Amino acid sequence: MDGGANDAGLACSLMRRVQIASATGLAAKAGAAVADAGGNAIDAAIGASIASMCTEIGIIAPAGSGFVTVWPRDGDPIVIDGYAEMPGRGLPEDRFGGGGRGVEMSYGGHTETIVGWGSVATPGAFAAFAEAHERYGSIEWSAILEPTIRTVEAGFPVTRASAEYLDHSHRLIFGWDDTSRSITHHADGTPVAEGDVIHIPYLADTLRQVSAEGASVLYGGEIGRRTADAVLAGGGVLTHADLTSYVVEIREPVRFELDDWEVATNPLPAVGGVVASALLLLASTPPFEGWIPREVDRMARIQRAVLRYRGDQLDDYAARSQAAEDLLTYAHAGDLSAVERSPSTVHTSVTDTDGNACAVTVSAGYGAGALVPGTGWYLNNSLGEVELTAEGFHALDPGTRLVSNMAPTVARRADGSILAIGSPGASRITTAIAQVLLNFLHLGMSLREAVAHPRLHVEVFGGSPMIAHEPGLDVRSIDGMTARRFPDLAMYFGGVQAAVFDPIAGLYGAADPRRSGDTARGGFD
């Protein structure tokens, strides 16, 4: 799980340029620093993702999980599945079901989740990073972590997205643990605000251990043991056996064509890629004609049908594979009638002039609200994401991969153009990615226009189906769905990050104005 650099990548690093689009300016700069050190798209994506996980407090956490989608210059695309697992290996039955506390936040209008030590799932992000580096990396593992180590050691400013989320969650999620409260709050009890510089004790030291010993220290090493001990002592179910047993899965992506692009995205057991693919295929058959009123209505109907299908059919572990196959069959045929019948994530997209594309999405849920003592290592609450745990709290067998909406996506065109794209946003991930890809690949908008364009998302709100939407779309109440208009572009609708390499136009990227994202370039001419 702790590989070295790829020699072939080293040989061409002095002629490589890299485009990064990531969750924050700090993350984008960290990715650029990795590229400046000789890293390729995969190295830079890992470096930027680690920087986000350690500095975008509240939004994400180091003990998160995720997926790395890579389309290498000289091979087929793959998905490296480092998503969260249900823990609890070796524990008696009476240990399950406790250690969590339900909370309700005003974020997005209303959000429910479960926090506490019992909400902590087995994390897999760093295992996926190590695997990606082993397969495709161009520089040493330590060089990838160095920019983040320097940043957290010096202290870093709170981003706009972090401040907004903490405004909703600081007391309920990040205020019950003494160490967390001291990091996320001022002495008077008010939450930290945008621009406040914060320090997370011990985090730089922990990252140095990960740098020196590899990602394995988080699983079978000292930090892994301390993590399991802390969670178990707090009433959770994460054991040392869960961490030492964790392995990444290499998966063949869902692939389809959209106009003259071939798209590859996250497959089962995650559902995000399947759902995003279905949304895109249905919207393009017949071809989407632009954001005119009748097409806006059509998009709302497509979203309602696909997202209802996702809730009814894809949450069932036993039947998921066949249901996903059926959904994609209906979508390829443009059969909407057949479909009708039947927060807390970050993303980094990177391309390089060698022709590599890498999309990384990682999540820690809404946050467990606790750190491993003496490490600065914030924990996830992936077991507490009620929208992704239909079976109930602690209901899965230990070792079962959790459901995910994440859909890090890459695409390639015959002329050599490559694209990496993805988004945070819980259930809004799939609709955000689908709308941006439709705008860019199908409607011909510029990448920045495609990312910034107003979005809609069909959801159940207050027990009734609604079309949540941003200003700039002509959205009307249709078929029993009422419209819920947000006053401005909102982080609720995701935070799409996209990077492109075009052999003629060169490198370019776009970061979503809804969050604190930014772009950067690195490498050598």
Q: What pLDDT, on the 0 to 100 scale, is given for residue 9? A: 42
Spatial distance between the Cα atoms of 58 and 158, rounded to a whole number of angstroms: 10
| Across 108-112, 146-150, 433-437, least confident range | 108-112
- pLDDT tens across 71-81, in order? 999 999 999 99
- For residue 132 the two structure tokens come to 């990606």
Q: Is the pLDDT of residue 253 over 90?
A: yes
Q: What pLDDT, on the 0 to 100 scale, is given for residue 2? A: 46
Burial 33-66 (b: 16+ CB within 10 A, else e): bbbbbbbbbbbbbbbbbbbbbbbbbbbbbbbbbb
Contact between residue 360 and residue 68 where contact means Cβ atoms under 8 Å apart: yes
Q: What is the DSSP letter of 270?
A: S
Q: Is the pLDDT of residue 341 over 80?
A: no
Give residue 335's pLDDT band: very low, low, confident or very high (50, 70, 90). confident
What does pLDDT average to over the chain? 91
Higher-confidence residue of 58 and 49: namely 49
- pLDDT tens across 193-207, in order? 999 999 999 999 999
Which helix or strand (DSSP H or E) is residue 151 part of?
helix 141-154
Please say whether the dihedral angle defined by the alpha carbons of residues 383, 362, 332 and 290, taken in this order, is positive or negative. Answer: positive
Contact between residue 112 and residue 365 where contact means Cβ atoms under 8 Å apart: no
CA torsion 156-161-163-167 (nearest 10°) is -160
Nearest to 422 by CA among 438, 441, 442, 437: 437
Q: Is the pLDDT of residue 110 over 80?
A: no
Q: Is the pLDDT of residue 437 over 50?
A: yes
Q: What pLDDT, on the 0 to 100 scale, is given for residue 82? A: 98
Q: What is the mean pLDDT of residues 342-352?
A: 82
Q: What pLDDT, on the 0 to 100 scale, is given for residue 307? A: 87
Q: Is the pLDDT of residue 106 over 80?
A: no
Q: What pLDDT, on the 0 to 100 scale, is given for residue 517? A: 87
Q: What pLDDT, on the 0 to 100 scale, is given for residue 36? A: 97
Q: What pLDDT, on the 0 to 100 scale, is given for residue 11? A: 41
- pLDDT tens across 25-43, in order? 999 999 999 999 999 999 9
Helix (H, G, I), strand (E, B) or coil at 39: coil
Q: Is the pLDDT of residue 453 over 70?
A: yes
What string of H, E and C letters represents the secondary structure of 363-417? EECECCCCEECCCCEEECCHHHCHHHCCCCCCCCCCCCECCCCCCCEEEEECCCC
- For residue 105 the two structure tokens come to 């936040």
250 phi and psi angles, rounded to 5 deg: -95, 120
Peptide bond into 471 cis (omega under 30): no
Contact between residue 382 and residue 365 where contact means Cβ atoms under 8 Å apart: yes
- pLDDT tens across 267-293, in order? 999 999 999 999 999 999 899 999 999
Q: Is the pLDDT of residue 495 over 90?
A: yes
Higher-confidence residue of 166 and 5: namely 166
Percent share of the chain, pLDDT over 70: 94
Nearest to 442 by CA among 303, 278, 280: 280
Q: What is the mean pLDDT of residues 148-176?
A: 91
Q: Is the pLDDT of residue 515 over 80?
A: yes
Q: What is the mean pLDDT of residues 431-437?
A: 97
Q: What pLDDT, on the 0 to 100 scale, is given for residue 4? A: 46
| Across 134-148, 312-326, 410-424, least confident range | 312-326
End-to-end CA distance of the chain: 32
Q: What is the mean pLDDT of residues 493-498?
A: 95
- pLDDT tens across 284-332, in order? 989 999 999 999 999 999 999 998 888 888 776 667 788 888 888 888 8
Provide the whole-model pTM. Answer: 0.93
Q: What pLDDT, on the 0 to 100 scale, is given for residue 434? A: 96
